[in-house]
């Protein structure tokens, strides 16, 4: 069993990766002591050369799992660990997106929607009216079928839910609804490739949408932002979006994503 050799923090199992074991040991150690630990102490406790210990804690600092006190240089567990298991609150996304979603509506003249994934559906978490003064109803809280919306395509394409695609019931709502696993998979592949998704008549004939992901940490789409409107205001006759529209939606989604780093 102990073919990988002995170390001070336990027996190595064949096939395990030494640097990950050592990183875990650093985290266990920092989690077990109440006060920040100096590098020398860390290396001594783990029976590692100082340079090796330094490389490990530096890397852990970079990914947010360890914090270094700027004054004393000592190390402690980072806030990134505490938030590791927390999902991003949809209301936080809404709050951070407001200025960008408003700006997108103002510049494009289109309605803006934000959504998160809820099982086979997307739930609208924010909605900015089309800025033309016409009577409109706030649609926050509405569920829409993920496979039939640009928002859903983006959320599926940027989530580790490939297996879920087989569970979706591909009901047809309008001429543009993907109704086979193949057409849906192609749409998601295209979305990943271009960084956004557009859908013509997915839920309603004559209505088109273009959506981009709000990505948080390692590229998981925690939300999506879309412009929605009459087909001719979103898409050209060729089916391609109007010049610059995709870039504007992507920029607003990315700007929102960058504000999620800062939690307060």
Footprint of another protein on this chain (CB under 8 A)?
89-92, 94-96, 98-99, 102-103, 105-107, 126-129, 131-133, 136, 138, 140, 263-264
Q: How far is the CB of 109 from another protein (least distance, A)?
A: 10
Q: Which is nearer to another protein, 36 or 90 (CB)?
A: 90
Q: How far is the CB of 82 from another protein (least distance, A)?
A: 9
Q: Which is nearer to another protein, 17 or 264 (CB)?
A: 264
Q: How far is the CB of 123 from another protein (least distance, A)?
A: 12
Contact call for residues 257 and 215 (beta carbons, < 8 A) = yes
What is the gyration radius of the CA atoms in the chain, in angstroms?
Answer: 24
Q: Which is nearer to another protein, 144 or 177 (CB)?
A: 144
Label the pairing between strands 220-230 and 111-118. Answer: antiparallel
199 DSSP β-pair partners: 209
Contact call for residues 256 and 214 (beta carbons, < 8 A) = yes
Q: Which helix (H) or strand (E) holds 112?
A: strand 111-118
Task: Give the C-alpha separation, 234 to 149, whole Å.
Answer: 14
Q: How far is the CB of 21 from another protein (least distance, A)?
A: 32
Q: Which is nearer to another protein, 50 or 91 (CB)?
A: 91
Q: Count CB neighbours of 185 within 10 A.
A: 15
Q: Which is nearer to another protein, 26 or 116 (CB)?
A: 116
Angle formed at CA 150 by CA 129 and CA 189, multiple of 5 degrees: 155
Q: Which two tokens stand for residue 103?
A: 């700006």
Q: How far is the CB of 256 from another protein (least distance, A)?
A: 12
């Amino acid at each position: 069993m102990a073919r990988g050799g002995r170390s001070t923090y336990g027996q190595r199992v064949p096939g395990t990766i030494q640097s990950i074991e050592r990183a875990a040991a650093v985290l266990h150690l920092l989690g077990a002591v109440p006060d920040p630990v100096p590098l020398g102490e860390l290396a001594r406790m783990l029976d590692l050369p100082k340079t090796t210990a330094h490389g490990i804690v530096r890397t852990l600092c970079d990914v947010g799992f360890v914090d270094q006190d700027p004054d004393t240089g000592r190390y402690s567990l980072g806030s990134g660990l505490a938030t590791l298991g927390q999902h991003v609150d949809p209301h936080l996304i809404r709050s951070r997106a407001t200025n960008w979603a408003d700006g997108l509506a103002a510049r494009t003249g289109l309605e803006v929607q934000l959504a998160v994934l809820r099982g086979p559906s997307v739930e609208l978490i924010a909605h900015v009216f089309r800025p033309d003064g016409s009577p409109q109803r706030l649609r926050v809280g509405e569920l829409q079928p993920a496979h039939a919306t640009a928002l859903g395509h983006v959320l599926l394409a940027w989530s580790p839910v490939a297996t879920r695609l087989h569970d979706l019931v591909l009901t047809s709502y309008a001429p543009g609804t993907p109704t086979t696993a193949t057409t849906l998979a192609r749409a998601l592949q295209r979305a990943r490739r271009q960084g956004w998704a557009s859908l013509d008549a997915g839920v309603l004939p004559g209505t088109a949408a273009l959506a981009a992901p709000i990505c948080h940490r390692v590229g998981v789409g925690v939300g999506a932002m879309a412009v929605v409107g009459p087909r001719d205001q979103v898409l050209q006759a060729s089916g391609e979006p109007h010049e610059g529209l995709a870039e504007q939606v992507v920029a607003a989604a990315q700007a929102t994503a960058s504000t999620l780093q800062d939690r307060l």
